[in-house]
Amino acid sequence: MRHSALTRRLDIESARVWDIHYLARERQWAGEDVILLTVGDPDFETPPAIVDEAERSMRRGRTRYGPTAGEPPLREAIARYHAKTTGQSVSAENVVVFAGAQSALFACALCLVDPGDEIAVFEPRYVTYDGVIDTPAAVRVDVPLASARGFRFDPDALGRAVTPRTRAILLNTPHNPTGIVAAREELEAIAAIARRHDLWVLSDEVYATLTYDAEHVAIASLPGMAERTVTINSLSKSHAMQGWRLGWAVGPQALARHLTHLIVSMIFGTPSFTQDAGLVALTRDLEEVESMERAYRVRRDLVCARLNACQGLSCQWPQGGMYAMVDVRATGLPDEAFAWGLLDAEGVSVLPAATFGESAFGHVRVSLTAPEAVLGEACGRIERYARSLVRPRSP
């Protein structure tokens, strides 16, 4: 039987990036000693106050259909949270609630681009961006971030990539997979390009609260950008609520109406009890959240210090997010061979970063979503494997 052309567009190399993770998980379930560092799945428990509110909400009967765009109290809380974290003042009418940031980004792409429109994306890029762009039959235009420049954002390269067919810029800061946080001057230059060419900016800011050595600046807060920027965020990373599927889009009111119409045909709305839990997350100062942020910094420092001291490896210190990029080229193996070899030899799963884009060739992405002791053990195994590759060999 015939399938649609969409299925062929989605059956791409990036869809298979998780193969190494799936195999590692199967081995772990089978009882093998495997450490999973492939996905950004926080190991922390959701703060108890959030869980308790969800349970109370369900027992109050909050299990029926709610407003399609989201419960008014939650949308108002998101508007306040957005203003606090970005400096852009918005109202509940600018907010649409989704089942996670991924579905919010997906819906925004459907509402902003037509077949053949170009979306400029800084590369390396998060792997699901390919499907987000391919679904509406738009054209992805990669803007390389050179490893020799520390994967810094390059507005000049973006300017050269813009054509008359360009419709939007897809921006992610703090950046996955590199951990780079866009500097204000870089964002100002990107914003100038968007204004000059009348482009939308889809700004994925799910790691906005998880920064180490740099200030997060929201591009929507810059002059002339509020009317052309959609900010995507969620509670998955900041509050260890990844399985709750609660995210949102903040943008112009006209776009919010279009997104609401799309939700009717897509998910019809997010569960009310989940939104009640999200309201607690956004309106209370939870010590567990601050503790998570401190723990990620400690983990980053541990992994980067250990791997940078190992012959054959070079680890870039991330400014934000929950990943570290490790250059493995000096071991003599490409990133994919290194990742699969590491899993087989030492039982540690990491992602070959070339799947995120050609600019990341020769790097692997290491997730910081494991306890400090587990990360220490993983570093020891990675070091042992790297040394086995670079040690002098007999004739």
pLDDT tens across 142-151, in order? 999 999 899 9
- In degrees, rounded to 5, the angle at the alpha carbon of residue 175 between the alpha carbons of residues 120 and 229 is 50
Residue 15: the pLDDT is: 60
Tokens of 350: 């990491």
pLDDT digits (tens, 9 = 90+) for 100-134: 999 999 999 999 999 999 999 999 999 899 989 99
Question: Do 38 and 120 have their domain in common?
Answer: no
Same domain for 231 and 355? no
Give the sign of the dihedral formed by CA 316, CA 204, CA 77, CA 44.
negative
Look at residue 65 and tell me if it is in a domain.
yes
Confidence class for position 12, pLDDT limits 50, 70, 90: low
Residue 395 lies in a domain: no
DSSP category for residue 47: P
Domain stops at, among 228, 255, 283: 283
The residue from 283, 307, 342 where one domain ends is 283
Q: What is the pLDDT of residue 27?
A: 93
3-state DSSP: the chain helix, strand, coil percent, rounded to 5?
50, 15, 35
124 domain-assigned: yes
H helices of the chain, where?
5-10, 19-29, 48-59, 72-86, 101-112, 129-134, 155-161, 184-196, 253-266, 272-283, 287-308, 335-346, 372-390
Whether residues 184 and 202 share a domain: the answer is: yes
Is residue 394 included in any domain, yes or no?
no
Does the reported pTM lie above 0.85?
yes
What is the structure's pLDDT at 395?
47
Confidence of residue 390 (pLDDT cuts 50, 70, 90): confident
Most confident of the ranges 127-136, 147-156, 159-168? 159-168
Q: In whole angstroms, give the CA distance from residue 220 to residue 293.
A: 24
* Structural domain boundaries, residue 155: 48-283
Per-residue pLDDT at 392: 58
User: DSSP code of 215?
Assistant: -
Looking at the 3D structure of the chain, how many domains does it have?
Answer: 2
Does 269 lie in the same domain as 325? no
Residue 213 confidence (pLDDT) above 90: no
